[in-house]
Structure 1
Amino acid sequence: MKKNWKKVLVGTLCLVGFLLLLVKGNQFEKVSLISTEGQSYEKAVVTKITKDNLAEDGNRYGTQEVRVQVKSGAYAGEEFDAVNPSGSLFGMENCEVGSRVIVIVSSTDDNAVVTVYSKDRTMAIYLFVLFFCLVICIIGGKKGVKAIASLAFTGVCIVYLMFPLMYRGISPIGITIVVVILSTLLTLWLLGGVSKKTVSAVVGTVSGVVVAAVAAVVFGKAAGITGYNVSDIETLNYVAQNTHIKIGQLLFSGIIIAALGATMDVGMSIASTIQELHERSPQLGTKELFVSGIRVGRDMMGTMANTLIFAYVGGSLSTLVVNYAYNLSYNQLINSYVIGTEIMQGLSGTLGVVLTVPITAAVAAVLIGKKKIVKEPLMQDIYDGADDYEEPETDGEYGEDV
């Protein structure tokens, strides 16, 4: 009971401290980069198509004119005539009666101009997230619930801790490493509890992420690639001029976050494997446990390396296809900032994952290898010892032991 109360007390203090940090970190005013006065994004339903833009060839050109009933905000319940641009990135491709949309309401004095912004995807997103959580909880049981909790905690850390502190001028790389440590501690604690296995996995995961960050910075300096060579640098420069965000470090912070999941997976797997080996064969020494961890890790390196490389390729597939279509020369392609950045991200993240294996194996072999396994007596041992059992000598009327 005392141990439970101590755990509850420590957990409560940590939670209160974390919440106070979130509140303190978000107590600031953002600089207004664009004017949104009199403009709001509201939910609406299309009630009528007043002018369609469907051509005879079956394609849509220009804009579509519709009537919508606003469902939220100051104009809830009112109907307005709206314009639907029908673009690929702006507006809805084809509005129909009953379509749920998001509209931009621009109001001045008593007048309001309404434009269709996009399809209302809120319900689809909520249902998909709910389905995702249910599948993980059903298949993973309690572990699945803990995984969802750790994922939510990481999201809160990124949105309400990392972003605000970056906005206030804190080093993006430094605060990202702090968030990685917090996320790793909570996630692995929920999955493995307070144990030597968890400590080993935490040390290996954090070390792997730091290795990925260092490798990216070193490669970036050698190849002349910085955070100012990204495609949206003009927008970032405008943001940097009006805020304290150090945009040059954002690229490397992204590499750290991207490598976290894979390194955590490898770290926990290696630590769990070494603990299981030790419990099954307690006679194995530190060296044998380390070698076994390395052997298991070798099988994981290939798949995890592919995981990160494929993830980065998938994220930039459109750019790669465009480069292929333009038939760029090798020298032009390999020396472009886009390709150099993708190579830096993929290889540095993979390097962090690979080095997580020996680091976790070494720490786990040292810590877990020292754990003493108390072997419980088997029933056969009890039966064998029964033959040597002798009745104690007694004396006295009531047979008291001598």
Structure 2
Amino acid sequence: MSLQKILQSRNLLFLGLSMIVIGVLLMFPTGFENALQFKDAVKCKVEILEVDDSSIIDTGLIRTGQQVCKVRFLNGRFKNQYSEGWNMLGGSLSLDKVFHKGDYAQAVVHCDDSEIISVNLIDYYRLDGELFLALAFAVFLFVFARGIGIRSVLSFIITILVMWKIVVPLFLNGYNPILVGIIATAIMTFTILFLVYGFNKKLLSSFCGSMSGIFFAMVLSVICTKAFHIHGAVMANSEALLYSGFQDLNLTQIFMASICIGASGSVMDLSVDITSSVAEVVRNCPDITKRKAIKSGLAVARAAMGTMTTTLLLAYSGICIAMLMTFMAQGTPIYNILNNNIVSAEIINTIAGSFGLAVTAPLTAFISGILLTGQFNFTKA
């Protein structure tokens, strides 16, 4: 069998397995399907035809009251019918929205058989734009990377489904967040690397390197969270869970698990870079010794680590930019800023993830140098 046919059969195998996993995850129940309120309400897309802002009260930057809009239903059982929709303003810049003529909104219709009782305008309708972005992303990956691009899209979908269908429900059901985080991260890491490499030595070396860094980041996050007295309520929207019937949740352990999950992406990137580099060196120089292969991997690791740690810092700093601006505008001293619980939580996020990278780099280089040297066979390694 030629090399091209072997690769084609492997790609078809990966594609088939991925589609099976995606299908199973899509059908997998979360256990919270019946938690939805107002199940009989109809959700649909509407077009704003007219607006009446006479009941809106402006107080500085804050707007309260209600906005009455004439709308046309664009889908659902009331398609092409007209009605009045209500948009309630509660004085929150982050939650409120003010519609204008020509906007498209997401609406919840309360009805009695075929008669409309009320129409609540929930938010701007963004699903079309989000779908376009997702399709554009998938097309770009396919055009640029062909088969690997398709596998990347599949791994992206699987990761989303694992988080939504498995990790989040297990957290809500009170399972140990740290254990769930480690196992889920291991499953996602293995799946993604399997789609990239197939089942071979490169998968093994990259997976072992990734999990060593992820496990170290988890251990460090547990130690630092306890030492710094950080409560899991620093996570956005976490307190709302406690007041929604989930008062037994251990938010602090969920915060620790979130650090592990958040760092796994960068750790995986670094391990793949190092493993692929060592594999390419060995492919072009089959007689290279293990020592030299490890040194080549370490050289790549040192260069990659410098940017990857900065990537984590920039990612977490970008999330907190408004808070940092507030501190500066108020003239808050640096020692107060660094001692703030939210800032301390982000420092733990950044440092734990960076330590994970620091552990991943040399271990992946060492494992790759040991496993990939010798008689190199492209279809096996």
Q: Of 131, 139, 148, which residue of structure 1 is paired with 2:153?
A: 148
Whole-angstrom CA distance in 2 between matches of 1:346 and 1:118: 34
Moved more, 248-257 or 46-55: 46-55
CA, structure 1 residues 186+17, in 2 after alignment: closer, same or farther (shift >3 Å)? closer
Whole-angstrom CA distance in 2 between matches of 1:80 and 1:322: 43
Q: Residue type matched to 2:355 in 1?
A: L
Moved more, 338-347 or 255-264: 255-264
Whole-angstrom CA distance in 2 between matches of 1:49 and 1:160: 40
CA contact (8 A) 2:51 2:99 kept: no
Which residue in the other structure is 2:130 paired with? Answer: 125
Deviation at 1:38, TM superposition (A): 5.5
CA contact (8 A) 2:201 2:372 kept: yes
- 1:318-397 paired onto structure 2 within 5 Å: 318-369=322-373, 371-373=374-376
Which residue in the other structure is 2:103 paired with? Answer: 99
Moved more, 176-185 or 104-113: 104-113
Deviation at 1:29, TM superposition (A): 4.9
CA contact (8 A) 1:42 1:70 kept: yes
TM-score (norm 1): 0.79
Deviation at 1:60, TM superposition (A): 10
Which residue in the other structure is 1:167 paired with? Answer: 172
Whole-angstrom CA distance in 2 between matches of 1:19 and 1:12: 11
3-state DSSP class of the match of 1:241?
Answer: coil
Structure 1 position 302 matched with structure 2 position 302 = no
CA contact (8 A) 2:274 2:365 kept: yes
Q: Of 120, 129, 132, which residue of structure 2 is paired with 1:115?
A: 120
Which residue in the other structure is 1:215 paired with? Answer: 220
Structure 1 position 267 matched with structure 2 position 271 = yes
Whole-angstrom CA distance in 2 between matches of 1:60 and 1:67: 24
Moved more, 297-306 or 36-45: 36-45
Whole-angstrom CA distance in 2 between matches of 1:11 and 1:108: 46
Structure 1 position 255 matched with structure 2 position 259 = yes
The structure, 1 or 2, with the larger RCO (C-alpha pairs under 8 Å, 6+ apart) is 2
Deviation at 1:223, TM superposition (A): 1.1
Whole-angstrom CA distance in 2 between matches of 1:348 and 1:94: 43
Which residue in the other structure is 2:208 paired with? Answer: 203
Whole-angstrom CA distance in 2 between matches of 1:299 and 1:5: 36
TM-score (norm 2): 0.83
Cα deviation, 1:63-98, whole Å, max 9, x if unaligned, reads: 4322112334454443222233477444543410x3
Deviation at 1:275, TM superposition (A): 1.7
Deviation at 1:186, TM superposition (A): 2.0
Deviation at 1:265, TM superposition (A): 1.0
Deviation at 1:193, TM superposition (A): 2.0
Whole-angstrom CA distance in 1 between matches of 2:372 and 2:181: 30
Which residue in the other structure is 1:226 paired with? Answer: 231
Q: Residue type matched to 1:42 in 2?
A: C
Which residue in the other structure is 1:45 paired with? Answer: 47
Structure 1 position 66 matched with structure 2 position 99 = no
CA contact (8 A) 2:209 2:360 kept: yes
Structure 1 position 191 matched with structure 2 position 196 = yes
Larger Rg: 1
3-state DSSP class of the match of 1:204?
Answer: helix
CA, structure 1 residues 51+16, in 2 after alignment: closer, same or farther (shift >3 Å)? closer
Whole-angstrom CA distance in 2 between matches of 1:14 and 1:52: 54
Q: Of 307, 312, 316, which residue of structure 1 is paired with 2:316?
A: 312
Whole-angstrom CA distance in 2 between matches of 1:51 and 1:12: 54
CA contact (8 A) 1:53 1:60 kept: no
CA contact (8 A) 1:22 1:161 kept: no
Whole-angstrom CA distance in 2 between matches of 1:27 and 1:225: 29
CA, structure 1 residues 347+266, in 2 after alignment: closer, same or farther (shift >3 Å)? same
CA contact (8 A) 1:189 1:198 kept: yes
Cα deviation, 1:149-177, whole Å, max 9, x if unaligned, reads: 11111111111121222232222222222
CA contact (8 A) 2:225 2:256 kept: no
- 1:267-286 paired onto structure 2 within 5 Å: 267-286=271-290
Can you give the 5+ residue segments of structure 2 that lack an aligned partner in the other structure? none
CA contact (8 A) 1:270 1:297 kept: yes
Which residue in the other structure is 2:29 paired with? Answer: 26
Q: Residue type matched to 1:28 in 2?
A: G
Whole-angstrom CA distance in 1 between matches of 2:331 and 2:33: 44
CA contact (8 A) 1:38 1:108 kept: no
Q: Of 292, 295, 310, which residue of structure 1 is paired with 2:296?
A: 292
Which residue in the other structure is 1:378 paired with? Answer: none
Deviation at 1:258, TM superposition (A): 1.4
Q: Residue type matched to 2:44 in 1?
A: E
Q: Residue type matched to 2:230 in 1?
A: I
Can you give the 5+ residue segments of structure 1 that lack an aligned partner in the other structure? 375-402
Which residue in the other structure is 1:398 paired with? Answer: none
Percent of residue pairs identical: 23
